[in-house]
Amino acid sequence: MSIEVQHVNKAFGDFKALNEINLAIESGELVALLGPSGCGKTTLLRIIAGLEKPDSGHIIFNGDDVSKRDVRKRNVGFVFQHYALFRHMTVFDNVAFGLRMKPRRQRPSETGIRAKVMELLQMVQLDWLADRYPEQLSGGQRQRIALARALAVQPEILLLDEPFGALDAKVRKELRRWLANLHEEINLTSVFVTHDQEEAMEVADRIVVMNKGVIEQIGTPAEVYENPANEFVYHFLGDSNQLQLNDQQIQFRPHEVELSRQAAPELQAGIVRDIRPLGAITRVTLKVAGQEQPIEAEVVRDNINLIGLQRGQTLFFRPNAS
């Protein structure tokens, strides 16, 4: 199901949370709303879900204007940042909730519900936890149960608010891949909110970069990274270095650098402050004379210039930003 957001505005008192938001999401896409906290991304997600009413503008699902439609009629799956599982219900009852709330005529039989719930629990690989209560689960397990619960009513749109925010790094990585796979398997249109650019890059088909209530750029991960529309997008999507060359201010990413042990006219000198092996790459921090901010250079770990390199030595570099 496609989603269109047209001219949406939203203010909370004097604070303008969203300013003229226009966005079109294709059916089957996995889109990330990326931005710093307070940029309005969660508000936009809640407006799409129907949890929040925009001051003006329209939300359109598959050509139907749903702006006036109540939350419960929009049939979107929603996963909250802190999962919002029903604490007094077992995992099974949590997942069954949406099916049990259906009007009598549409409601499956109790055996039908059981079969459906167990199928979903198997899909999230947690069928063995059916009788537990939410507080007995780990964060990653709760996350997957919240997802199973949202999918039980067979929504065509899945919205996730900071889906991996509250998890530790390793679980987060696993769940990201798992979510991307799941999205491929069951054909859903998914939108998720995140403040973590790495997460958006790794999972999303397209990224919507937001700041202070406006959309700064929409594009594939490669597009927004390689052709940032403005300063904000450039800085938000990755680390960057600033170098004062003569009267010119140059910006470049840590990996956009060439190193050398030999001085040359086109190279800058820097004193090695720190050497950090980070797995496949190694980060070298350089202090450049006459500049407060250090330069970070990231090169492959077997880069020839790293052999025998010590702190305090002088290294020469050149930004090779395209």
Partner 1 sequence: MSTLVLSATRQRNLGALTLIGCAWLVFVVFLVLPLYVVLSEAIQQGYASFFTAVLEPDAIAALKLTLIAVGISVPLNVVFGVSAAWCVSKYEFRGKSLLVTLIDLPFSVSPIIAGLIYILLFGAQGFFGEWLAEHDIQIIFAIPGIVLATLFVTVPFVARELIPLMQQQGTQEEEAARLLGASGWQMFWHVTLPNIRWGLTYGVVLCTARALGEFGAVSVVSGHIRGFTNTLPLHVEILYNEYNHVAAFSVATVLLVMALLMLILKQWAQERLEK
Q: How far is the CB of 164 from partner 1 (least distance, A)?
A: 18
Q: How far is the CB of 141 from partner 1 (least distance, A)?
A: 17
Q: How far is the CB of 101 from partner 1 (least distance, A)?
A: 4
Binding flag, residue 315, partner 1 (CB under 8 A): no
Binding flag, residue 84, partner 1 (CB under 8 A): yes
Note whether 23 and 4 are within 8 A (CB): yes
**b/e per residue 245-271 (b: at least 16 CB within 10 A):** eeeeeeebbbebbebeeeeeeeebebe
Distances (CA, A) of 224 to 91, 194, 248: 40, 15, 25
Looking at 93-101, 119-127, 184-192, 261-269, which segment touches partner 1 (CB under 8 A)? 93-101
Residue from 126, 140, 123 nearest 90 by CA: 126
Q: How far is the CB of 295 from partner 1 (least distance, A)?
A: 45
Instruction: Dig out the tokens for 167 from the structure.
Output: 């998890």
**Smaller CB separation from partner 1, 88 or 105:** 88
Q: How far apart are CA 297 and CA 321, in angstroms?
A: 12
Question: How many Cβ atoms sit within 10 Å of the Cβ of residue 112?
Answer: 11
Binding flag, residue 80, partner 1 (CB under 8 A): yes
Note whether 41 and 236 are within 8 A (CB): no
Region 30-69 residues binding partner 1, contact defined as CB under 8 A:
49, 51
Q: How far is the CB of 242 from partner 1 (least distance, A)?
A: 42
Binding flag, residue 178, partner 1 (CB under 8 A): no
Please state whether beta strands 268-278 and 281-287 pair in parallel, antiparallel, or not at all (unpaired): antiparallel
Q: How far is the CB of 12 from partner 1 (least distance, A)?
A: 10
x-or-dash pattern for partner 1, window 100-119, by CB under 8 A? -xx-----------------
By CB under 8 A, name the binding residues for partner 1.
49, 51, 71-72, 75-78, 80, 82, 84-89, 97-98, 101-102, 149-150, 152-153
